[in-house]
Amino acid sequence: MSRTLPGRIWRSIYRQPFADEEREGARVINDSLLMHLHPVKLRRHGLSITYTFGLGGISFLLFIVLTVTGVLLMFQYLPTTEQAYADIQRLSGEVFLGQLLRNMHRWAAHAMVLAVFLHMCRAFFTGSYKPPRSFNWAVGVGLLVLTLLLSFTGYLLPWDQLAFWAITVGTNIAGYAPLVGRALRSFLLDGIVVGQGALLRFYVLHVVVLPLVLALLVGLHFWRVRKDGGISGPPLPGGGHE
Amino acid sequence: MSEDKKVFPTDRTFTLVEVVEGTSPLIAKEPDDTVPTYPHLLLTEAVAALFVLLGLLIASIFFNAPLGELANPLVAENPAKAPWYFLGLQELLLHMHPVFAGVIIPATVLLGLLAVPYFDFGPKGEGVWFSSRRGVGCALLCGGTTLVAIPFALYLSGANPTNAIVVDLKTLALPQLISTGLIPYAAMLLSLTLLYVLCRRLLGASRREALVGVFTALVLGMVILTLTGLYFRGVGWKFFWPWDPTRLLHG
Ligand code: HEM
């Protein structure tokens, strides 16, 4: 038991003192939640920045930023055709740091689409989809679709001209699907045009359904990275293969 | 106990728990190239995260998210643009039947992505960018072809009042679904197949290396179409230079 209060608090969270040697470092991982994300040791190759560019991690970080800023935005926003636009205007004008909050949410959303796309390209170009990672690649494709849908549903919420017509164009495209197109479109819009029904549907999808599914799928994705033997890499020189 | 001592003459500190298939970083330990996660990986992650957050904060201080006029169903935006990541599809929509541009092509791309690991499953080339020198060659060949072919096709269509690239498919005496749908769709698949065969034959590429080429073409194609929609399309979905002040006339 540590004698100082900060020491006792530290020990209640981490079971060991601040780690400065390898054995202690191993325990930082092994004795904490991090164990479920990272192995205690990893191949030097996986550390190389030019291998992954950290893009998966960056996608995840942006998702967290989007969750935090998104929840804060929810305190200031009502998804009705009368109120939504005024709320965004108020946010940009009167609410303390409201404009910054909205900017961060918007730019992080663009950045996440980009990061996820680049992460997919990285996984492809390094052959990281090969067995045993084929399934995790498929999970990734699901994540890409979800990321696009999240961004798309969020696009309508400010209820301005840009939003309205972008979603009109976008859902028109969905409407062309053979057989199910019309049904899909009217399901998304809760009607035949973009209106109150559509705003509510997009809102619920955007703040509850899609983030929840994405978070679950990210959990699966990370778990599979560990189970598939960590980050991919070239065969080991000793003839062993990863 | 004595039996044990015979089989294991030393005082072993380990025991065989289970034989697992496959591999982990600890199997082929010669030479040991592993490093402890803490501090190496955790510090890298922390620093990277700080940089990303800093960049985001700076961008958000200096650039405001756009906000147009209040939504008005009676006044169409001109041009009415989808969100930027769908602009490639919107560009295709101009040239192709909507069922193909909006549904069948995206579905083909997604299914293609899902299928890749089930056709290219050999371990060779894993863990190396572009797999090999020849993989880089395939990427350059296919990427270069795309960089020339797609802008050229866009240029041809821009010079033509009907947006046709070579022949106006709409005027063919066929159902639209075939003339402006199936035909250009087949042409696209054929071009990608051709690139694949070219990599295999011309560069002697393996399946994986040729796939690297095809993927490069696909990604660059989407990027070019997206950038076209974002920066080169304006009022009436016509071609403009990005700096042309008349490109975006709202309302
Ligand atoms: C929300 C979206 C996503 C998140 C947060 C995410 C996160 C991650 C993270 C943190 C890793 C560890 C390695 C790294 O950072 O590169 C990883 C690996 C991987 N991801 Fe993703 N990912 C996402 C989307 C995707 C997509 C769209 C694909 C492909 C279609 C994909 C395929 C893979 C594969 C194959 C690996 C294993 C790579 C290897 O072992 O080298 N992921 N992902």
Q: Do B80 and A127 touch (CB under 8 A)?
A: no
Residue A242 reports pLDDT greater than 50: no
Chain A partners within 8 Å of B85 (Cβ): 113, 117, 148, 151
CB–CB of B153/B165 below 8 Å?
yes
| Range scoring the smallest mean pLDDT among A7-11, A207-211, B42-46 | A7-11
In DSSP terms, B34 is beta-bridged to A43
Sign, CA dihedral A60-A64-A69-A73, equals positive
What pLDDT score does A182 carry?
85
CB of residue A201 inside a 6 A radius of ligand 1: no
Q: HSE of A72 in the Cβ direction (CA atoms, 13 Å)?
A: 17
- B34: helix, strand or coil: strand
Residues across chain B: 251
Lowest mean pLDDT among A21-25, A49-53, A139-143, A199-203: A21-25
Output the average pLDDT for chain A. 91
Q: At A11, is the pLDDT very low, low, confident or very high (cuts 50, 70, 90)?
A: confident
pLDDT of residue B7: 59
Report the pLDDT value the prediction gives residue B78, as an integer from 0 to 100.
84
Which residue in A161, A167, A87, A194 sits closest to B72, CA to CA? A161
Question: Do the Cβ atoms of B117 and A148 come within 8 Å?
Answer: no
Q: What are the residue boundaries of the structural domains of chain B, listed by start?
A: 34-62, 84-237
The superfamily CATH assigns to domain A53-227 is Cytochrome Bc1 Complex; Chain C (1.20.810.10)
Cα of A119 to ligand 1 centre, how many Å?
6
Report, as an integer, the average pLDDT of B209-238. Answer: 95
Q: Is the CB of A225 under 6 A from ligand 1?
A: yes
Instruction: Say yes or no to pLDDT of A184 above 50.
Output: yes
The residue type at A122: R
Question: B71–A121: do the CB atoms touch at under 8 Å?
Answer: no
The pLDDT score that the predictor gives to residue A149 is 96
Mean per-residue pLDDT, B94-111: 92
- HSE-up of residue A228 (Cα within 13 Å, Cβ side): 19
For residues A45 and B127, what is the distance between their CA atoms, to the nearest angstrom? 9
Touching B: A residues 52-91, CB under 8 Å? 54, 57-58, 61-62, 65, 81, 85, 88-89
Count of CB atoms situated within 10 Å of the CB of A131: 16
Beta carbons of B26 and A124 less than 8 Å apart: no
Residue B71 burial class via C-beta count within 10 angstroms: exposed 0-12, middle 13-18, buried 19 and up = buried
| Binding site membership of A112 for ligand 1 (Cβ less than 6 Å) | no
Average pLDDT on B114-143 reads 95
Work out the burial of residue A212: count CB atoms within 10 Å of its CB; fewer than 13 is exposed, 13-18 middle, 19 or more buried: exposed
Residues of chain A with pLDDT > 70: what percent? 97
Residue A231 CB–ligand 1 contact under 6 Å: yes
User: Which residues does chain B have within 8 Å of residue A145's beta carbon, measured at their own beta carbons?
Assistant: 110
Is residue A184 within 8 Å of B97, Cβ to Cβ?
no
Ligand 1 within 6 A of CB of A137: yes
Q: How confident is the model at residue B246 (pLDDT cuts 50, 70, 90)?
A: confident
Residue A234 has pLDDT above 90, yes or no: no
Token pair in block for residue A216: 């679950």
User: How many A from CA of B243 to the centre of ligand 1?
Assistant: 37
Is residue B251 predicted with pLDDT exceeding 60? no
Among A12-16, A82-86, A139-143, the range scoring the smallest mean pLDDT is: A12-16
pTM for the whole structure: 0.89
Find out whether A199 and A135 touch, Cβ atoms under 8 Å: no
Q: What is the mean pLDDT of residues B185-195?
A: 96
User: How distant is the Cα of B4 from the closest Cα of chain A, in angstroms?
Assistant: 30
pLDDT of residue B197: 97
Task: Mutate one of B21, B24, B37 to test the A interface: name it (highest A CB count within 10 A).
Answer: B37
Give the model's pLDDT for residue B24: 57
Examine the predicted complex and report whether its ipTM is higher than 0.85: yes
Lowest mean pLDDT among B51-55, B152-156, B191-195: B152-156
B58 pLDDT higher than 80: yes
A61 to B52: CB separation less than 8 angstroms, yes or no: yes
**Among B27, B29, B38, which would you mutate to test the A interface (most chain A Cβ atoms within 10 Å of its Cβ)?**
B38
**Mean pLDDT of all residues belonging to chain B:** 88
Substitution target in B44, B70, B249 with the highest count of A β-carbons within 10 Å is B70
Distance CA(A23)–CA(A28), nearest Å, equals 9
Q: What is the pLDDT of residue A178?
A: 80
Question: Average of pLDDT values for B66-92?
Answer: 91
Mean per-residue pLDDT for B233-238? 89
Ligand 1 center from residue B237 Cα (angstroms): 36
Task: Kindly tell me if the per-residue pLDDT of B250 is higher than 70.
Answer: no
Quote the CA–CA distance of A206 and A184 in Å, as a whole number: 17
- The Cα-based distances of B8 to B2, B16, B17 in angstroms read 10, 12, 16
Domain with CATH 1.20.810.10 in chain A: 53-227
Average pLDDT over residues A53-79: 97
- Residue A146 CB less than 6 A away from ligand 1: no
- The reported pLDDT for the residue numbered A83 is 96
> What's the CA gap between B127 and A228, in Å, rounded?
14
Interface touch B33/A160, C-beta < 8 Å: no
**pLDDT given at position B171:** 82
> Is B71 close to A163, i.e. CB distance below 8 A?
yes
Average confidence (pLDDT) over A189-197: 91
Q: Is the pLDDT of residue A239 over 70?
A: no
pLDDT band at A20 (very low <50, low <70, confident <90, very high): confident
Asked if the model's pLDDT at residue B46 lies above 90, the reply is yes
* A120 Cα–ligand 1 center, Å: 7
User: Which ranges of chain B does DSSP label H, i.e. alpha helix?
Assistant: 2-7, 37-62, 87-95, 98, 105-119, 133-158, 176, 183-202, 207-227
